[in-house]
Amino acid sequence: MKAKRTFIKMEILQLIQSYRFCIHLLFIPLLIFAVEYGGLFILCVPIFGYLLIPFTDLLLKRYEFNNIWKSEVKECFALKLIQMWPFIQLILIIYCIHRVSNSATILPAEFVGIAAVTGIITGSIGITFAHELMHKKSYQERWLADILMGLVLYGHFRSEHMLIHHRYVGTPRDAATAKFNENFFKFFLRVIPSCFLSAWNEEKTRLNKKGLKIYSLKNPFWRYLCLALLFTVIALALGGALGVLFFVIQAFVAIVHLELANYIEHYGLRRKPINTDRYESTKTHHSWNSSEKASNWLLINLQLHSDHHAKSDKSFTELQDHPDEQAPQLPFGYPVMILLSLIPPIWFKIMNPRVAAWEKRFYQIC
């Protein structure tokens, strides 16, 4: 009997291990419950993402250093699921807009709440998957990334992230690197216009080098604009003005989640200048790392950000953890850090000493 229980336990653990990068699928029924039943069911999405996942992090051991998750994962299934997510997300948004905008009984607070929790999903999952896809070499996968970013009205993120952030992270030229003692709200107001303008200017420069004008169809901003307009028109057709309002609210919440992640990933870290125009190459110690298991499973290893910036062409299944000597460590996973970043005094109390310790360890200036 004991051997049978042990066998069943091992089978369950193996199942979880095999499909750990698919736990985001639980958001789908939770969102449907929120739409169909309203009220407290709306809280199921944030409870799962911001309470249950961190609690599971506490129960599980952290990743081991330099642990690679390759063939043991159902990698093909996980990758296919990521490629399918733009269409799954589009269907979810269409369903939400149709149901919510045409409901005669929904309360204003429920309308806003459902739009907000939809944005939690499109921001934490949709944009995370878009980030994975835009780093692929395949033209089709980058198109899928553009679809996901178009669904949150933030298409220029691909240009900004690929052409600027990875090149200039930790330097004054990267608006997405949060400055030391800069709270999230100041960061957000600064990064929204700065990233758009820097992405536009970088694409303009790239086109000029090819002898093309900014209005050339080779400018990806036309694709970003067309996708945003297309999805806005779909929202209008489905739910009229309320449909557009729902779509805009979920997009705003998704963008906030993206910039919260940006804020957390590089807060206070900087690359050492070599001369007036050059900086040291990007290393693992220029990004905050978090090896919490459950939140990494949910966010397909996005929290192993140090390794991602050290070698950005790695798939999420290949990313490695790094010890304290190689990368600065966050005290918690992203779900908890996101909540803490919204309370600046607590954030500074927790993170500023860690930044000072990082400076002392790597640059010996404190």
Q: How far lies 134's CA from each of 160, 162, 335, in Å? A: 11, 8, 23
Residues in the chain: 366
If we measure between CA atoms, which residue out of 186, 30, 228 comes closest to residue 113?
30
Tell me the per-residue pLDDT of 57-74, one tens digit each, with 9 for 90 and over: 999 988 866 554 444 444
Quick one: three-class SS letters along the chain? CHHHHHHHHHHHHHHHHHCHHHHHHHHHHHHHHHHHHCHHHHHHHHHHHHHHHHHHHHHCCCCCCCCCCCCCCCHHHHHHHHHHHHHHHHHHHHHHHHHHHCCCCCCHHHHHHHHHHHHHHHHHHHHHHHHHHHCCCCHHHHHHHHHHHHCCCCCCHHHHHHHHHHHHCCCCCCCCCCCCCCCHHHHHHHHHHHHHHHHHHHHHHHHHHCCCCCCCCCCHHHHHHHHHHHHHHHHHHHHHHHHHHHHHHHHHHHHHHHHHHHHHHHCCCCCCECCCCCECCCCHHHCCECCCHHHHHHCCCCCCHHHHHHCCCCCCCCCCCCCCCCCCECCCCHHHHHHHHCCHHHHHHHHHHHHHHHHHHHCCCC
Q: How many CB atoms lie within 10 A of CB 361?
A: 13
pLDDT recorded at residue 66:
55
Q: How far lies 316's CA from each of 117, 135, 291, in Å? A: 25, 10, 13
Counting Cβ atoms within 10 Å, is residue 27 exposed (0-12), middle (13-18) or buried (19+)?
Answer: buried
pTM reported for the whole predicted model: 0.92
d(CA 286, CA 269): 6
d(CA 236, CA 243): 5
Regions of the chain short of the pLDDT cut 50: 7, 9-11, 13-14, 68-74, 365-366
Compute φ and ψ for 199, nearest 5 degrees. Answer: -65, -45
d(CA 334, CA 276): 34
pLDDT recorded at residue 73:
44
Instruction: Locate 260 and state its tokens.
Output: 């919260």
Counting Cβ atoms within 10 Å, is residue 19 exposed (0-12), middle (13-18) or buried (19+)?
Answer: middle
300 contacts: CB under 8 Å, gap ≥ 6: 21, 78, 82, 128, 129, 132, 316
pLDDT recorded at residue 71:
43
Place of tokens 């609690």: 55
pLDDT recorded at residue 18:
59
